[in-house]
Amino acid sequence: MKELLRNGLWGAIMALGELLPGVGMQTVAIIAGLYDDVIAFLFQGTEFVKTLGLFIIAKAKKEEVSAAFFNIPWKFGLSVFGILFLTIIAFSHAVGAVFEVYPTQIAALSFGIIMASILIPYKEITEKTWKEYLLFAVSFLCFFGLFSIQGSGTNAPPSALTFFGGGLVASLAAFFPGISISLALLLMGLYEPLFASIEQLTSRQADSYSFLTVLLFLVGLAIGMLLCVRILNYVLQKYKSLFLAFIVGLILASLRGVWPFIDQATQQAILPWNVPVSQLTQQILLITVAFIVVTLIRKYAENKGTLASSFGQKERIVIT
């Protein structure tokens, strides 16, 4: 019962992280030490889907399907993702409203959270060779450039098939910290067309194009996530240090996306020393508070023995 409540609490915090710009539920999962548990849950789900498919074509037995189903860690998955979805539904409008009123303050909190989370995968890199440093540099430079790209609209609506490819690409964002599905859609120029189609479906003006675009996007997203989770599960087992170097570069680059120092007149990013003193003091305070809170949460969990690693096998023994 205690573990269910803890997982449910982390599910709620992961949801709030997903609602914060640039943070995402993946970053919170890393802080909580649940990243590999999330991947394991989703991987077992894909194993069930694969076994069920083999059963349909008479290549697997009914007992194997049943075993694959019960191998899914349902207690963990339902306690985390059930609360996560409920929290997103309950607080999405509230967080959006707060962000509209206090954009730089929310960005400062996100900046501090992400800064603290960088240390977690870095500490877990067991091998620090030239390969890890090279991959870190490449990851940082690529994503630093990516986060500077602004999605561009077009007068002609994308073809419905484009949304299938968009779903495949957006599925990558579901597993990496610092990237959200919304950001991926913006970069591909599909954010506005997709949500326009969703609005069409929820109104009396729904048409076949809207239905097809949303359907193909969801199919592409589902297929992409099934493939990604299997690849990530393999990479975590075989190339853990290289994967963590990649993650560190990605998280560090994502700080560009939540840069809190903005010129109020032009809404352009500026250097911290160009910000008015009162505003700079407030932002630095918020960044520091967020950094310290995340660090203390992580330290407390490690000392209590509730987690030892965010990216590998760990014992969950509570020290009394």
pLDDT exceeds 90 at position 133: yes
Q: What is the pLDDT of residue 134?
A: 94
The β-bridge partners of 269 are: 262
Residues contacting residue 80 through CB under 8 Å, at least 6 positions apart: 7, 8, 10, 11, 14, 34, 38, 41
HSE (side-chain half, CA atoms, 13 Å) at 69: 9
CA gap 256, 179 in Å, rounded: 12
What would the pLDDT profile of 77-125 be if each residue is shown by its tens digit?
888 888 888 887 787 777 767 777 888 888 888 888 888 888 888 888 8
Q: What is the pLDDT of residue 155?
A: 52
Torsion of CA 282, 283, 286, 290, to 10 degrees: -170
pLDDT exceeds 60 at position 196: yes
Find the mean pLDDT for residues 51-78: 89
Q: What is the pLDDT of residue 320?
A: 28
pLDDT grade for 169, boundaries at 50, 70 and 90? confident
> What percent of the chain has pLDDT above 90?
8
Q: What is the pLDDT of residue 154?
A: 47
Q: Which of 25, 31, 110 is nearest to 287 (CA)?
A: 110
DSSP-derived letter for residue 60 is S
Q: Which of 110, 145, 139 is nearest to 261 (CA)?
A: 110
Tell me what the pLDDT averaged over the chain comes to.
80
Three-state helix/strand/coil letters over 205-251: CCCHHHHHHHHHHHHHHHHHHHHHHHHHHHHHHHCHHHHHHHHHHHH
CA gap 212, 15 in Å, rounded: 28
Buried b / exposed e across 49-68, counting CB within 10 Å, b at 16+?
A: eebeeebeeeebeeeebeeb
